[in-house]
Structure 1
């Protein structure tokens, strides 16, 4: 071969490769390679640390590699869930068709028995935080909903309806190795988060009820059991029910329990998760909890756990974003220097890491309070507990709401900044999972109560308890460990804002007060997170 032909063959050839980065990313262990997460586990698990640490070390490689790979395959647009309404013989079956990988991932994640009485709460917590790092994947929303359904059944046992005990066993402990999946269907087209506006009707039927009407936004529509809110005929009170997807023997026949799935929603994020519109035509439903306290039951237990879990998910999202942004920035060379060697990039990486650690520390601290309080769900502001316990329950209630709105809002910002560290490659969905997780964060910010709704709830809560829990006491309790000057500043701000027209008629004064309230809540909660970081780093 002559020299001219050799030049022709190599002309324009580019030998650049991402293989070094990919090899390092694929070898990452999401627990072993997260020193701050390990410190948090050691801080909060106490005497259980060694046992839990070892179990997480065994668990982490599975979620870091196998489950992550499955989630990436599930996310491809061509395999997103779709409806098959009829079989070949014109029977209405409403089958939700999902890819093989999601069935495999679902079976393995639920097969861990994360809510079983056999698993320590902190072990479950850390495993869930790691699992959230794969993104939604079609499994983490159902996992969260199942937690709420189990808590509901645990809180309100009913010997008169043995089916409820069977459902509890199926979801919590598993039956013959199979763990059932739960969901929560509460939103209607006219109401969304406004549960008192529900119109779905529950008609008494023997010891149970039959449901008639429509639910407009039903995530995890493929679930085995769902928590559904409805109004009992002749009343104006919302009640809560457990509804099986199939009655005994009907699942194999694909004969649903008196309802039809009209269509699957097309969503911005969590696209792997089937979210549907459902029409109830006499579905058999079992009542759960006091019949005239359906909203308190649904919000106090089911939605509280979902909001709590969203905060845990945001921790996982940000930890992954920080880890992968740093790894890529240390690999990629631009204009002769690593990306991480540029001060502007380094400042972003620092902000991403700090936010990830703050959010993680806050999630651990809130969950620690959750575990230390006996039966903290659904206490209500008018709890009959001793005053000091009531104050701690109130702290938990508000911290869960603050975490939900602040972690999701900052989560979207942090994911966007992490994506920017990859430059053009950051928006290529085959290159990185961060764009998909970014969309999941944005969706998480909207459900279980959007920001404005929860900001309003926190404001009203603080006004309602002022006669037995002053703003100064609340701030001092939540920000315990913070400098006195900082506590004094937040206390004065809160006292002032509670006298301002935050919830008044729309005018310049109320708009300004509302904006200040929003900013106050964000700053207040970030201070709480910073205290949690300091406690872990002691």
Structure 2
């Protein structure tokens, strides 16, 4: 009998029509990989940044990682099937308007078990939270990780600006942060309206005073986490020019079991290309009770500076995690699959692409760790609150953090789409098969993730305006040198000069040939700056690994 043996496959040529090809070797390697324990680079990053916490994080992350790669991965893959996508039930059998968001048991179970990890509680340190979220985000399950992100934003603004003597706000914070009777509240962020999109100053939803509280009227057009218990909402305060921030419960105390909404209706759920397990709707408020948070005249600044900044940090984690999984599984498949007598990995063109995937994943992950480290060194969530007592050095460091978070959102979120798409190409036709791997789902979700919390052009515009505004107290060349401390001097000088020149160009001027050229140069400079920052972060970790 003549046989041809290849890794993971076996052909018996003397049996007509027989082709017992098997993917089992690949599946065993892919499904047996432990997202934390088997990732040496991730463990190096934890050791580098977490310091004395590293040993304890290693222990707790190991336990969580096992759940992620087994039970939670199976739940997320099942929940992704079209027949399990959320739907809206407007009325019960007795003609009561309930607007029940019906989600699959898999999604609800996954959310409940992940939220039970209490990642935002006082008993979990920031670095432990970060590492665990990185591992969880490798699921690519935005039906759960988006609610996590929004809940952190709700917790952040309540901790920084909520009135601790307000009993209901205190209860909401406790419910979302520490849980009540083992149940954790889920938060959302409802800011977008049909006429404005990311243009929050154009909000028309109105807040009308009702004693110490407010009543909300109007329609929010893009409301992800429509099933949430509470929403951070922006609204124009009646009789003023102020856009305030409010927390709106989905149900008033005692009403959740009866499915009686707090003065609003969910009109429909959106049909999206990605994040399809996440219910995103249109909500019309008809007098919902709401609690103001922070000074109403600073609502926009607080919504952007606290809530959206935390979300943008989370997008950095998600981007790095999705790249990591995509690059890893593409390499596993390339090492398994034989084409024309050679493994895919043994072809130079494929090897080159796989090396690029690995580099992008590691560079993005190292950059995400570095940005989060700066966030903690600036004071964590306290760094997002407006302060007037900072020294110039503190103010500059906080400014670096602000711009790096924006640049990470622009670069990492956009590059994730390219990374996942190229990883899919390694699989050939199997790359687009929904039940063969998670990559098609990751690609769709990455495309949506790129648009969350401000699309690329909006954030590049914000960086431009920020640097112009700060120039009087923080020279642009100094800013570049500080961000790239330790980089090659010629690179720093070149970028500093180009940034300074572009701040005098019509990047935000009228549309003509000159402004379009300047805009293209601005995007290129921003991309190069953040890539250099990521590379420095990567080198700082790899240097530790190779040092004696």
Q: Normalised by the size of structure 1, how large is the TM-score?
A: 0.97
Q: Is the 8 A contact 1:370 1:376 kept in 2?
A: no
Counterparts of 2:385 and 2:228 in 1: how far apart (Å)?
Answer: 28
Q: Distance in 2 between matches of 1:339 and 1:383?
A: 58
Residues in 1 aligned to 2:427 and 2:162: alpha-carbon distance in whole angstroms: 51
Note if 1:116 corresponds to 2:121: yes
CA contact (8 A) 2:160 2:385 kept: no
> Separation in 1 of the partners of 2:394 and 2:124?
27
Runs (4+) of structure 1 moved beyond 2 Å? 374-380
Partner residue in 2 for 1:378:
384
Change (3 A) 1:100 1:14: same
Q: 3-state DSSP class of the match of 2:290? A: strand
Q: Which residue of 2 aligns with 1:4?
A: none
Q: Distance in 2 between matches of 1:390 and 1:103?
A: 42
Q: Does 1:369 find its partner at 2:374?
A: yes
Number of aligned positions between the proteins: 531
Residue 202 of structure 1 corresponds to 207
Aligned to 2:65: 60
The one of 286, 302, 305 aligned to 1:281 = 286
Tell me by how many angstroms 1:66 deviates: 1.1
8 Å Cα contact 1:183-1:225 kept in structure 2: yes
Distance of 1:379 and 1:529 partners within structure 2: 26
The CA deviation at 1:379 is 4.7
Distance in 2, Cα, partners of 1:473 & 1:325: 41
Aligned residue in 1 for 2:155:
150
In the alignment, the residues of structure 2 paired with residue 103 and residue 141 of structure 1 have an alpha-carbon distance, to the nearest angstrom, of 14
d(CA) in 2 for partners of 1:37, 1:159: 38
Q: How does 1:329-344 map to 2 (within 5 A)?
A: 329-344=334-349
Shift of 1:137: 4.3
Q: 1:161 and 1:50 mapped to 2: Cα distance? A: 39
Distance 2:356 2:106 in 1: 35
CA distance 1:407–1:228, shift in 2 (3 Å): same
Aligned partners of 1:343, 1:245: CA distance in 2, in Å? 56
Report which stretch shifted further, 153-162 or 422-431. 153-162
Question: Is residue 306–residue 385 contact of structure 2 (8 Å, CA) maintained in 1?
Answer: no
User: 1:326 is matched with which residue?
Assistant: 331
Counterpart of 2:37 in structure 1 is 32
- Following superposition, the deviation at residue 10 of structure 1 comes to 4.4
Q: 1:193 aligns with which of 194, 198, 201?
A: 198
Unaligned runs of 5+ in 1: 1-6
CA deviation string 1:189-230 (max 9, x = no partner) = 001110000000111112100000000000000000000000
Deviation for aligned residue 1:77: 0.3
C-alpha distance in structure 1 between counterparts of 2:40 and 2:165, whole Å: 50
Counterpart position of 2:410? 405
Superposed displacement of residue 378, structure 1: 3.3
Tell me the distance in 2 between the aligned counterparts of 1:448 and 1:234.
28
Mapped contact 2:110–2:144 kept (Cα < 8 A) = yes
2:316 to 274, 289, 311: 311
**Distance in 1 separating the partners of 2:362 and 2:273:** 27
Query: Cα offset for 1:376?
Result: 4.5
Output the CA distance in 1 between the equivalents of 2:317 and 2:476: 27
- Contiguous gaps of at least 5 residues in structure 2: 1-11, 544-548
**TM-fit CA distance, 1:157:** 3.0
Q: Would the aligned equivalents of 1:59 and 1:127 in 2 still touch at CA under 8 Å?
A: yes
1:266 partnered with 2:267: no
8 Å Cα contact 1:85/1:93 also seen in 2: yes
Q: Secondary structure at the match of 1:143?
A: helix
Three-state SS of the structure 2 residue aligned to 1:389 is helix
1:248 aligned residue:
253
Write out per-residue CA displacement over residues 475-523 of structure 1, whole angstroms, 9 at most, x where no aligned residue.
Answer: 1100001011111111111111111110010000000000000111111
Q: Name the CA distance, whole Å, in 2 between partners of 1:492 and 1:427.
A: 44
Contact 1:74 / 1:137 at 8 angstroms: preserved in 2?
no
How many angstroms apart in 2 are the aligned matches of 1:62 and 1:247?
Answer: 34
Please state if 1:167 is matched with 2:172.
Answer: yes
- Would you say the 8 A contact 1:361–1:533 is kept in 2? yes
1:377-429 deviation per Cα after TM superposition (whole angstroms, max 9, x unaligned): 4356x854111100001000000000001001111100000000000000000
Distance (whole Å) between structure 1 residues aligned to residue 390 and residue 494 of structure 2: 30
1:140 match: secondary structure: helix
Asked whether the equivalents of residues 304 and 377 of structure 1 are also in contact (C-alpha less than 8 Å), the reply is no
Secondary structure class of the residue paired with 1:489: helix
Q: How does 1:510-525 map to 2 (within 5 A)?
A: 510-525=515-530
